[in-house]
Amino acid sequence: MFTQTFQMAKLSIPMCTVCGLNADYEADEPTVHYACGHLEHSECFFNHHPHNLFRYAASYLFLIFYDMDHYQSKTFQTEMDYRSYDKTKVNSRFTEKFSTIHDLCCDIWEQIFEYFEVIDLFMTLRSITMAADQVLFNDNNGYFLRGLTLGVAVTYLPERIPLYRIISLTLHENVDLKIIEHCSELRSLKLIGENEWITYVVKTAAPINSKLIQLTIITPIIRSLPKLLTSIVSIPSLRRLEIHTDDLTESSRDCTFASVPLEIEQFVLNSSSIMDWNNLLCMLSKFFRTRLLNISLIDCNHKSIPSFIFYNLRNITIGLLEVSFDWIIQLVATIPCLVKLKLTGLVEKDGYVVDQKWISLFESAPLLTRIFVNVSLQQVGESYHCENIQAPLCALNLKLVCNDGDDCYLYDGQIHLWWSLRGVIIKQYS
């Protein structure tokens, strides 16, 4: 029945090493047959190909609803009535055939539930089978709930949702904050709203959530970044901090504030407006343990070089706005343990394309192994198609491509073209 069901579903599944069902996958890939239940190689298969876990869950979901349509139960199911979970034979047309929904164990249900919102789980998928309810309602099962989003559009919240097992929560402004008081096991919290409301929620959540690891803040405007960071000091367990804003304005050049959580290892600051690097640099000096840094957007105005050393920084991403290549070389020199560097944004030709100095970055940071490049630049009155420009870049695994079409325009009698420089430069060991 399984093979026939999957043929009807037209799903491409790999070969089963037990029953030998053919598949569309490469011969050298790990194999697993979802339908027949022979999951010997599933662990290896999912580790190498995570996208197949979704195919696996989708395949089982098809079986569930296909079987529910064709093999009707003899008993009517009521909420939490486990007598309705019995596997029973149905009408004579399907003699000797059973519904497969009851064959799914708790482990399978846990994997399936990963693809659903928490509210959807408790409104549509509860009371399907005993194993499914064991996952949702049995605290001893140790299953944590991810992806609860509360906003204006959410008008009803099922009463039976165990908020004390929520580990990932997204809150929009004007949501009842009493909910967060019951979410004592949070690992990830995302706040979307005005700066003042976010500051209040952070202070409210800090005493309750001692296991909070990641905090994401999305706000339209930040008038004082030091003030916002000060409100986060009370979360000592925090390891990753993300701040996304349209406008970052500093009303004061004073960057003094209480010590930022020194355990923060990943810091992302994404803004559509240009940041004052010198003020930002003063704040970054508080992040002693930071290993990953993502900053945008930095312009070409005067920028000081750090007077301190980023000893723990391993990965840095910078959004550029016509920043000179020489300044990047000086910055990299202050990060002796840098392993990965990513540059994005708008740049000039000097150092990047003409008289390129990419190799100098490896000399400034001995441990640097990869440079990810995704920048744009404008060409006026000259061509970058010539061999003496393209060949050195190609040798570094970089592609300089002209963006033809709408990006081409005429100004002051000269043709202006936009070019994209992309690629990954990998350090070559002699």
Q: Provide the token pair at 298.
A: 């930095």
- pLDDT for 413 beyond 90: no
How far CA 191 is from CA of 173, 238, 375, 394, in Å, comes to 8, 15, 31, 43
Do 328 and 343 contact (CB within 8 A), yes or no? Answer: yes
Rg of the chain over Cα atoms, rounded to whole angstroms, equals 28
What is the tens place of the pLDDT at every residue in 322-376?
999 999 999 999 999 999 999 999 998 899 998 899 999 999 999 999 999 999 9
Between 151 and 339, the higher pLDDT residue: 339
Least confident of 7-11, 18-22, 280-284, 311-315: 7-11
DSSP strand E in 339-405: where?
Answer: 340-346, 370-380, 398-403
Q: What is the pTM of this model?
A: 0.72
- The DSSP result for 163-222, as a single string, is GGGB-EEEEETTS-TTTGGG-TT-SEEEEES-HHHHHHHHHHHTTT-TT--EEEEEEEEE
What is the tens place of the pLDDT at every residue in 130-141?
888 888 888 787
Distance CA 90, CA 181 (A): 48
Q: Which residue has the tokens 């630049």?
A: 377
- pLDDT for 195 beyond 70: yes
Least confident of 204-213, 280-289, 319-328: 280-289
pLDDT of residue 177: 78
pLDDT of residue 397: 96
What is the tens place of the pLDDT at every residue in 382-391?
678 888 999 9
pLDDT of residue 1: 41
Which residues pair with residue 85 across a beta bridge? none
- The DSSP result for 259-306, as a single string, is PP-TT--EEEEEEEEEE-HHHHHHHHTT-TT--EEEEEEE-SS--PPP
What is the tens place of the pLDDT at every residue in 20-74?
444 433 333 343 333 444 444 333 433 444 445 444 554 555 445 444 444 444 3
Whether omega before 400 lies within 30 degrees of 0, making that bond cis, reads no
Side-chain-side CA neighbours of 380 within 13 Å: the count stands at 8
pLDDT of residue 69: 44
Do 333 and 365 contact (CB within 8 A), yes or no? Answer: yes
- pLDDT for 429 beyond 70: yes
pLDDT of residue 151: 84
What is the tens place of the pLDDT at every residue in 90-114?
444 444 455 677 788 888 888 888 8
Q: Provide the token pair at 139.
A: 């605290």
